Amino acid sequence: EPEVTQTPSHQVTQMGQEVILRCVPISNHLYFYWYRQILGQKVEFLVSFYNNEISEKSEIFDDQFSVERPDGSNFTLKIRSTKLEDSAMYFCASSGRGNNSPLHFGNGTRLTVT
């Protein structure tokens, strides 16, 4: 069964550094998402992406965050200048067409900002 893959599985970075989290969504999916989960807290929506542009973003997704689909397969999340509070598990997801298409999640990238 096709799956969403994320790399790296764990990223450690220093405060103020830029990080890029990478995802390969399921190939025939049209909608792409980033969610995050701070340790012990809820899974939170960050951004959705469709037709090469952001569909919606949450209040968390400020100017420090950006997403890109640089080619036909990868979907990236960039954090320009990381803060301690950005430490979390970041999940990429993709879905097919329509309101009732379930999300397929990757296994996540654990980002630790020191």
Residue carrying the six token digits 């830029």: 18
Give 90's strand partners.
36, 109
Cβ at position 16, least distance to another protein in Å:
27
- Extract the tokens encoding 57: 């973003």
- Encoded one letter per residue, x for contact with another protein by CB under 8 A and - for no contact, window 5-44 reads --------------------------x-x-x------xxx
Q: How many residues does the chain have?
A: 114
Q: Provide the 10 A C-beta neighbour count for residue 81.
A: 12
**Nearest distance from C-beta of residue 84 to another protein, angstroms:** 21
Pattern 37-76, another protein, x by CB under 8 A: -----xxxx--x-x----xx--------------------
CB 79 within 8 A of CB 15: no
Q: Please, what is the minimum distance in Å from the beta carbon of residue 87 to another protein? A: 15
CA distance 47 to 75: 12
Interface with another protein (CB under 8 A): 4, 31, 33, 35, 42-45, 48, 50, 55-56, 91, 93, 95, 98-108
